[in-house]
Structures are given as structure tokens and as C-alpha cells.
Amino acid sequence: MRRFFVNPENIMGPTALLTGSEARHIHAVLRLAPGTLITLFDGSGSYFEALLTKVSPTRVEAKIVSITPHIETTEDVSPALHLGMGLLKGTKMDFIIQKITELEIKSLHPFQSQYCAAQDPAANRQSRWQKIALEACKQCNRPKPPVLHKITDFKNLIFLSGQDKHELKLIFWEEAGQKSLRETLGPLGKIKSAMILIGPEGGFSAGEVTAAIAAGYQPVTLGRRILRAETAVITAAAILQHELGNLS
């Protein structure tokens, strides 16, 4: 059954209203007709089965026939993995948003650091990231998108993450010597929350790593090869989610 995102504000009693890109997709791309049964999700964990009643290029109405309210899922009770990510150039951050949604990263903290080549993006980039996360939710059947925090600077992120009670905090640095991720995760026990930091294309400066260590982060590597930032994100997230039991 086709899945679509519906803004909670557009659920009015038994009627759900879809506009914008979702309406265009239903009308022009999929050419779904009234009477078609679809699945809706509102980004909070609830699902709705609904019957299309009116279809136009800009407005689609559907009658809700059943509701599956949000219940505690494995995503809610599993160890939460949070990501601090240095801003990347061009559309690379869009790719990152898509993949971390698929990998069930709990939250993203984008930051500016010393070697960031990307400038602080326009405000509309944040809204685009949210749309990308919702599209990824549709594709991978995730009920809730990751929390996308506003862009901050590295020092502030380190300070804020120091206030959180993450049992595991890692900073990925190609100059971490022989301290590999595998060695670090060897004695990993039961934890509820982990935070990882991955730098931009230029990586982290020695001063930034020193500040992170002072805040409780362990510097680790992903092996002897230097990976692109976007490759490092997917690799680190997949390994950690597996070790945390979130990919079982």
C-alpha cells in the first residue's frame, strides 16, 4: 500500500488533507483515483489507513478508515544513536540526511568547524532537510524522522553534548593512531545513548579533538584508509547500529 506523509494539522476528524508535493505525486505521478486505499503517517509514530475521496493537482482528500496510534516500538526503547556532523558542501548533506534516516539515527546536530568548506546555509535548507527526512521515512517505513537540530558551532555542540548523559561518545579522527572503532567497541556493554562526531571534508583540527576529549569523547578511526566524510558517516552509523542491536 502506498504511504504518504500528512501534516497533523491537516487531519480534521475523519478527513485527511494532502497538499503540495504529496498531492502532485498522487495526482500526476501515481495517478491514483478516488477509492484507492492508502497509508498515511504523521511523523509522530501514528499510522492511518485512508480512502481517497477527492484528487486534484493541488489538493487531495482522504477518508480515514482506521488508525494505528503511536505505540512504543523498538526504535523508542533501543539504544539511541545521535550524530554530530560537520557541514558538507553542495548536496552532500542532503545525502547524509537520507541515509541517517534509513539507519535510524535518533538526531542530527550539524555544526560549523574550523575546516568546514561549506558556508552557513540559508534558512530554507533546514526545511529541505526535513522534507528529505520525511521522504526517506516513506521509503524505509520509519514512523518518525530523526530530530534535525539547528546548525551550531563545534564549541557549542561540545558544550551541549556534555550536558547529555551519553554513555558512549566518539569522535572519528584519522589521526587517532591505533585506536580503532573495533577495539573501542570490544568491551561495550548495555548502553542507552551514544553520540558520534564526524568532521567535514577537511576533518577536525587537533585543537577540536583536544576539546572533544576534554568533554569525554574518545578519538577513534575507521581503519587505515581515509574515507570521504559521507562514506565515514554511513560506515560508522551502520557499524554502531549493529553493535547496539538496532539492525537486528
Compute the average pLDDT of residues 92-106: 95
Q: pLDDT at position 92, please?
A: 92
Q: Could you give the CA distance from residue 8 to residue 152 in angstroms, rounded to a whole number? A: 28
pLDDT tens string 202-232: 899 999 999 999 999 999 988 888 889 999 9
74-243 classified as CATH 3.40.1280.10: yes
* CATH numeric code, 3-68: 2.40.240.20
Q: Where are the domains of the chain?
A: 3-68, 74-243
pLDDT tens string 114-146: 988 766 556 678 889 999 999 999 999 898 899
- pLDDT score of 38 more than 90: yes
pLDDT tens string 147-171: 999 999 999 999 888 777 788 999 9
214-236 exposure pattern, b = at least 16 Cβ within 10 A, e = fewer:
ebebebbbbeeeebebbebbbbb
> pTM of whole model > 0.85?
no
